[in-house]
Amino acid sequence: MAYQVLARKWRPHKFSEMVGQDHVLRALTNALENNRLHHAYLFTGTRGVGKTTIARILAKSLNCQQGVTAHPCGECAICREVDEGRFVDLIEVDAASRTKVEDTRDLLNNVQYAPAKGRYKVYLIDEVHMLSTHSFNALLKTLEEPPSHVKFLLATTDPQKLPPTILSRCLQFNLKRLSIEQISQHLNKLAVAESIQYENQALRLLAKAADGSLRDALSLLDQAIAYGAGQLTEQDVSSMLGTLDQHLILDLVKKLAENNAASILGQIAVLAEQNPDFTTVLSDVLSLLQQIAIAQAVPTAVNKEHPETPAILELAKQLSPEDVQLFYQIGIVGRRDLPLAPDARSGFEMIMLRMLVFIPRQLQQSTPKSSISPIKPNINPIPEKPPATNNEHVTPVIDTSDTANETWETIVNSLNIKGLIKQLALNCELKKHEANNWHLSLSPHHKLLLTEDRKKQIEKSLEKQYGQAQNLYIRVANSEAETPAIRQQHIKETRQQYVVKAVDKDSFILHLKATCDAKINKVTVI
């Protein structure tokens, strides 16, 4: 017996066997069960999402010998003939090969005749958008008022090309692209049914490569089974698809989080050994940054079963949300400009270095939030005295370095405070920290923020953070170093300057200025 490809072997024969498209199946099921049947249906959506399959199941539901039903028996002569593609009253037409008006007229000449075996004569016109204008005009009147025994089922991947007169005469159902999870789960079931040994990540790579199309996924599964001699491993599937090992992308973003330009260039050199498409590599980096952003905003939304999840969660702690958004924006703009680079690799290197350069300088030396330990009261304690010398009469030196205040900023951001209380803390300069005593300085310009109640709220938060009572001493005096609030303002200004420059150089903006005399009033970073 000849081998039957998986896409045909496992084509659904009932609505219950469909993957996804619940919104369409619900409407059709209710229409069939309540006998509210329209004379023309239009199914739209990208390739391989089930348009033709749903139309064939609907034709079977209309003609099943058990009666009109949303659950055709699949055993009667008509159901079997529909499944085998030989039911005489189901007329399937490929509009791409029958675009002439004469073809359409020949087709419609038989509409008036009653069905030969079934209850309804069903016309299934695939890729209907390929019909010519004259063909649409010939179809229009019949489509509006067909005989009671005729149903039209139209399918297209490009509904925008259909005349409004045709669209207005059909019930339209837009089929959605299938998610990676939906496709991966279905491939899992088929691999088990086919007794194929597989790795979950291999199926996920196939699902991702299918780009929302279940038919494409099944074709790729056929190819992968042949490539791996009956076994599906991540390495074989990755090699077959020509995709990169995602661990290389993770390592690249880790180097970015470490602010190490040399390591980044070294990792790109490792990637270059795989002869990748650097546009695809950049897309993978952007996809990873998007997953990191989701992990930071909604940790519960991260797929816990994904093998890369632990690394993504760790990166979500190492990188600030602002930096992730900045990297993503630079990457999006860079992907647009990548074809303009002398070569793909050098263009990609510049994009990654641009991400590194545009990290605000004050943040490049700061301690990551993930390094804060709630059980240690002294985080980078500031020495009260210099090292011992021959004269112990030296005046004690108070450390007012930027590092100390970056540490204070990290601590403030880790506390559960907000509003004016947090503003008070951020506008303070850390002068000295010994044991459980914190000595801060507040600029006279912000002295109105200082109240006893707010000071106590900060002390309580510090106590909760470190597990023991903390004493906070705040005096009003001119600052000798940047406070966290000033540093954050500098960061905001740096990003504002970057966005302004990016907008000024944007090709579309330049086009508007040149052709429409457009002017930019103000650029604001939110």
In a domain, 69, yes or no: yes
Rg of the chain taking only CA atoms, in angstroms? 33
How would residue 372 be classed by pLDDT, with cut points 50, 70 and 90? very low
Task: Provide CB contacts within 8 A for 459, sequence distance 6+.
Answer: 469, 470, 471, 472
Using the predicted structure, report yes or no on whether residue 173 has a pLDDT greater than 90.
Answer: yes
How would residue 526 be classed by pLDDT, with cut points 50, 70 and 90? low
Domain CATH for 446: 3.30.300.150
185 and 62 in a single domain? The answer is no
pLDDT average, residue stretch 310-321: 90
How would residue 139 be classed by pLDDT, with cut points 50, 70 and 90? confident
Write down the pLDDT at residue 400: 40
pLDDT average, residue stretch 278-301: 90
pLDDT average, residue stretch 388-396: 40
State the total domains in the chain: 4
Write down the pLDDT at residue 349: 93
Domain CATH for 107: 3.40.50.300
* DSSP-derived secondary structure letter, 163: -
Using the predicted structure, report yes or no on whether residue 389 has a pLDDT greater than 50.
Answer: no
Domain CATH for 219: 1.10.8.60
Contact 466, 456 (CB under 8 A): no
In a domain, 478, yes or no: yes
Task: Tell me the pLDDT tens digit for each residue of 119-132.
Answer: 999 999 999 999 88
What is the b/e burial string over 232-270, where b = at least 16 CB atoms within 10 angstroms of the residue's CB? Answer: bbbebbbebbebbebebbbbbbbbbbeeeeeebeebbee
Write down the pLDDT at residue 371: 37
Write down the pLDDT at residue 67: 92
Write down the pLDDT at residue 152: 94
Using the predicted structure, report yes or no on whether residue 522 has a pLDDT greater than 50.
Answer: yes
CA dihedral 45, 50, 55, 58 (to 10 degrees): -130
45 and 116 in a single domain? The answer is yes
pLDDT average, residue stretch 43-63: 94
Q: Which of 21-25, 33-37, 384-388 has the lowest mean pLDDT?
A: 384-388
Write down the pLDDT at residue 489: 79
Q: Determine what percent of the chain is predicted with pLDDT higher than 70.
A: 90
Highest mean pLDDT among 183-197, 358-372, 395-409, 482-496: 183-197
Using the predicted structure, report yes or no on whether residue 384 has a pLDDT greater than 60.
Answer: no
Mark which of 174, 205, 224 sits at the end of a domain: 174
In a domain, 433, yes or no: yes
Using the predicted structure, report yes or no on whether residue 55 has a pLDDT greater than 90.
Answer: yes
349 and 263 in a single domain? The answer is yes
Q: Residue 76: count other Cβ atoms within 10 Å of its Cβ.
A: 15
- 407 vs 386: CA distance, rounded Å: 20
Helix (H, G, I), strand (E, B) or coil at 311: helix
In a domain, 209, yes or no: yes
How would residue 299 be classed by pLDDT, with cut points 50, 70 and 90? confident
In a domain, 500, yes or no: no
In a domain, 461, yes or no: yes
Helix (H, G, I), strand (E, B) or coil at 224: helix
278 and 345 in a single domain? The answer is yes
Distances 459 to 260, 415, 470 between C-alpha atoms, Å: 37, 10, 6
Write down the pLDDT at residue 191: 93
How would residue 308 be classed by pLDDT, with cut points 50, 70 and 90? confident
What's the mean per-residue pLDDT of the chain?
A: 84
197 and 121 in a single domain? The answer is no
pLDDT average, residue stretch 286-311: 85
Show the DSSP H helices in 34-155 as ranges: 51-63, 77-83, 101-108, 133-144
Write down the pLDDT at residue 365: 43
The 3-state secondary structure of 382-419 reads CCCCCCCCCCCCCCCCCCCCHHHHHHHHHHHHHCCCCH
141 and 39 in a single domain? The answer is yes
Burial category of 51 from C-beta neighbours within 10 Å (exposed 0-12, middle 13-18, buried 19 and up): buried
Write down the pLDDT at residue 524: 62
The 3-state secondary structure of 42-76 reads EEECCCCCCHHHHHHHHHHHHHCCCCCCCCCCCCC
Q: Residue 515: count other Cβ atoms within 10 Å of its Cβ.
A: 8
Task: Tell me the pLDDT tens digit for each residue of 234-251.
Answer: 888 988 887 777 788 999
Q: Which of 259-263, 281-285, 364-368, 422-426 has the lowest mean pLDDT?
A: 364-368
Higher per-residue confidence, 371 vs 270: 270
Mark which of 213, 241, 269 sits at the end of a domain: 241
pLDDT average, residue stretch 26-31: 95
232 and 272 in a single domain? The answer is no
Domain CATH for 355: 1.20.272.10
93 and 108 in a single domain? The answer is yes
Q: Which of 175-184, 187-196, 482-491 has the lowest mean pLDDT?
A: 482-491
Task: Tell me the pLDDT tens digit for each residue of 61-117.
Answer: 999 999 999 999 999 999 999 999 899 999 998 888 877 788 888 888 888 889 999
Using the predicted structure, report yes or no on whether residue 406 has a pLDDT greater than 90.
Answer: no
237 and 255 in a single domain? The answer is no
Using the predicted structure, report yes or no on whether residue 513 has a pLDDT greater than 80.
Answer: no
Distances 313 to 286, 291, 326, 385 between C-alpha atoms, Å: 16, 9, 18, 40
Q: Which domain holds residue 124?
A: 6-174
Mark which of 154, 174, 194 sits at the end of a domain: 174
121 and 187 in a single domain? The answer is no
Q: Residue 442: count other Cβ atoms within 10 Å of its Cβ.
A: 21
Higher per-residue confidence, 204 vs 516: 204
How would residue 364 be classed by pLDDT, with cut points 50, 70 and 90? very low
The span from the first CA to the last CA of the chain, in angstroms, equals 64
In a domain, 472, yes or no: yes
Q: Is the dihedral of CA 178, 182, 184, 185 positive or negative?
A: negative
In a domain, 440, yes or no: yes
431 and 303 in a single domain? The answer is no
Contact 359, 259 (CB under 8 A): yes
63 and 138 in a single domain? The answer is yes
